[in-house]
């Protein structure tokens, strides 16, 4: 057999579903920090917190080494979990850390199903889930699309509940023009590598006053309180959650780009919505995301591909992902409904408890979206997805 001829046209480079954008000045800045002799928490963390606070309308902000720990610490500050009967209402369609931290502090997660259109927690169901044991609500702005803050705080205020906004995905989003983080109760952001602004790993917590901020500092590092040049006291158990100066320097290099990143993401999302053919959308019954270009930061672009329609073509979601991968396109799944994970099943949840979240969890596909993508990349993704589903 003769050898196959080599293809003359190079394949298009692999398009991941997301990719951080780190400029050269930031990389140089990180090198400066590494050479400075002070690489863990120090002046860069302080400056990062100062700039985050300015963005959040002057509210107290502290930086941490993950978004997850900021939510756990918010619950500890609010003393949620002090009684094992304490309940916290949240969504079953989120990254699992949102409810894991409720278990971590010794409280009980209570799930309220999602609104199938926004895929965010349904606030009518939140209201219905409130009991005398409810202490807090953790709403999640999935894909950066904000939960209705007006209604949320009306409910929380009327029922005297704390709110920990899981805004891991909505840094740069706003509610009625007010940046997420500038209003409300606790607001938690993540700066994980995949988020709109990154510190590689990291996060921050926006609080209400300096007393909460001092408690957050204690929970951040072993409960330690320093005084004078040589004083040290420990009154509570804290963790090891401090951000490094190297990571904070990455964050400082990201913040100036927030507005342009958000603008570019909105532009790419708009193009996605324009490029899908109406006939294809109707044929597959493909559900496209809510077209919010004013408030959402478009952390992700997701489509729902109904399993019944895929089955008619002899396909499952994983087959679509594999076919797109073969065409050089990365996709993701965000997220399976978390109450169906083994840990949560053992605690009593089961199939059918939250049908909207389960349906979204099984049928949602995350397509590539990040600021350095080109318009042609969007076109390529849409063409590939349409051709894969039409069996072309
Ligand atoms: C990323 C994310 C988190 C956790 O953030 P980490 O920084 O990875 O700990 C929590 N909730 C949601 C919705 C997220 O997307």
Question: Per-residue confidence of the chain (392 residues) as pLDDT tens digits?
Answer: 455 666 666 667 999 999 999 999 999 999 999 999 999 999 999 999 999 999 999 999 999 999 999 999 999 999 999 999 999 999 999 999 999 999 999 999 999 999 999 999 999 999 999 999 999 999 999 999 999 999 999 999 999 999 999 999 999 999 999 999 999 999 999 999 999 999 999 999 999 999 999 999 999 999 999 999 999 999 999 999 999 999 999 999 999 999 999 999 999 999 999 999 999 999 999 999 999 999 999 999 999 999 999 999 999 999 999 999 999 999 999 999 999 999 999 999 999 999 999 999 999 999 999 999 999 999 999 999 999 998 75
CB contact at 8 A, 61 and 207: yes
What is the Cα–Cα distance from 236 to 379, expressed in whole angstroms? 54
Residue 183, ligand 1, Cβ within 6 A: no
pLDDT at residue number 390? 85
The helix or strand, by DSSP H or E, that contains position 358, with its residue range, turns out to be helix 355-363
The pLDDT, as a whole number, for residue 6 is 62
Q: What is the reported pLDDT for 391?
A: 74
Ligand 1 in reach of 179 Cβ (< 6 A): no
**CA 27 to mean position of chain CA atoms:** 24
Catalytic residue among 46, 108, 159, 195: 195
Residues 6+ apart with CB under 8 A from 209: 60
Q: Is the CB of 168 under 6 A from ligand 1?
A: yes
CA atoms within 13 A on the CB side of 151: 11
Distance 67 CA to ligand 1 centre (A): 5
H or E, element range at 187: strand 186-190
Q: What angle do CA 162, 119, 355 make, to 5 degrees?
A: 100
pLDDT of residue 27: 98
Q: What is the DSSP string of 104-162?
A: HTT-EEEE-PBPTTT-SB-HHHHHHH--TTEEEEE-B-GGG----HHHHHHHHHHTT-E
Pocket test for ligand 1, best of 64, 91, 97 (most atoms within 8 A of CB): 97
Q: Whose C-alpha lies nearest to ligand 1, atom 5?
A: 67
C-beta separation of 70 from 60 below 8 A: no
Residue 334 CA, closest ligand 1 atom number: 15
Domains in the chain with CATH codes: 24-255 (3.40.640.10), 258-389 (3.90.1150.10)
Tokens of 27: 């990389």
pTM for the structure as a whole: 0.96
Distance (Å, whole) CA 249 – CA 27: 9
Q: Which of 168, 202, 338 to mutate to test the pocket of ligand 1 (most atoms within 8 A of CB)?
A: 168
Of 101, 165, 166, which is best to mutate to test ligand 1, by the most ligand atoms within 8 angstroms of its C-beta? 166
Atom of ligand 1 nearest to the CA of 97: 10
Mapping DSSP to helix (H, G, I), strand (E, B) and coil, where does residue 354 land?
A: coil
With a 6 A CB cut-off, is 95 part of the ligand 1 pocket?
yes
Atom of ligand 1 nearest to the CA of 299: 15
pLDDT value at residue 392 = 55
The predicted structure's pLDDT at residue 12: 77
- As a 3-state breakdown, the chain gives helix, strand, coil percent values, each rounded to 5, of 40, 15, 45
In the reported structure, the alpha carbon of residue 374 is separated from the centroid of ligand 1 by a whole-number distance in angstroms of 27
Q: Which atom of ligand 1 is nearest to the CA of 190?
A: 7
What's residue 208's pLDDT? 98
Q: How far is the CA of 201 from the centre of ligand 1 (A)?
A: 10
Ligand 1 atom having least distance to the Cα of 94? 13
CA angle (87 as vertex; 85, 89 as ends), nearest 5: 170
Given a contact cutoff of 8 angstroms between Cβ atoms, the answer to whether 359 and 6 are in contact is no
- Is 159 among the residues known to form the active site? no
């Amino acid at each position: 057999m003769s050898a196959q001829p080599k293809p003359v046209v190079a394949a298009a480079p692999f398009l991941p579903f997301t990719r951080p954008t780190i400029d050269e000045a930031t990389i140089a800045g990180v090198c400066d920090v590494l050479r400075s002799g002070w690489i863990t928490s120090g002046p860069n963390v302080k400056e990062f917190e100062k700039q985050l606070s300015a963005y959040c309308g002057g509210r107290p902000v502290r930086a941490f080494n993950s978004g997850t720990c900021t939510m756990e610490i918010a619950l500890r500050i609010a003393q949620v979990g002090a009684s094992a009967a304490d309940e916290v209402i949240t969504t079953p369609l989120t990254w699992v850390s949102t409810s894991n931290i409720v278990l971590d502090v010794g409280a009980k997660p209570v799930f309220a199903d999602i609104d199938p259109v926004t895929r965010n927690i349904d606030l009518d169901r939140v209201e219905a889930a409130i009991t005398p044991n409810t202490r807090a609500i953790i709403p999640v702005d999935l894909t950066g699309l904000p939960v209705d803050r007006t209604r949320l705080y009306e409910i929380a205020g009327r029922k005297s509940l704390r709110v920990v906004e899981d805004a891991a995905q909505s840094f740069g989003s706003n509610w009625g023009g007010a940046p997420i983080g500038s209003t409300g109760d606790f607001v938690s952001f993540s700066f994980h590598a995949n988020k709109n602004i990154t510190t590689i790993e990291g996060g921050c917590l926006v609080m209400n006053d300096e007393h909460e901020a001092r408690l957050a500092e204690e929970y951040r590092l072993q409960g330690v309180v320093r005084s004078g040049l040589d004083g040290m006291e420990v009154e509570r158990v804290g963790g090891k959650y401090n951000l490094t100066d190297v990571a904070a320097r990455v964050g400082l290099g990201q913040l100036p780009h927030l507005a342009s990143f958000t603008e570019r993401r909105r532009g790419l999302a708009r193009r996605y919505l324009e490029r899908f053919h109406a006939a294809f959308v109707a044929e597959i019954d493909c559900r496209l995301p809510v077209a919010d270009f004013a408030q959402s930061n478009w952390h992700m672009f997701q489509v729902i591909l109904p399993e019944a329609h895929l089955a008619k073509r002899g396909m499952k979601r994983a087959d679509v992902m594999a076919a797109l991968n073969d065409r050089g396109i990365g996709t993701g799944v965000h997220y399976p409904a978390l109450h169906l994970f083994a840990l949560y099943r053992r605690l009593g949840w089961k199939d059918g408890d939250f049908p909207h979240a389960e349906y979204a969890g099984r049928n949602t596909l995350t397509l590539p979206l990040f600021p350095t993508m080109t318009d042609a990349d969007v076109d390529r993704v849409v063409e590939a997805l349409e051709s894969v589903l039409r069996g072309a």
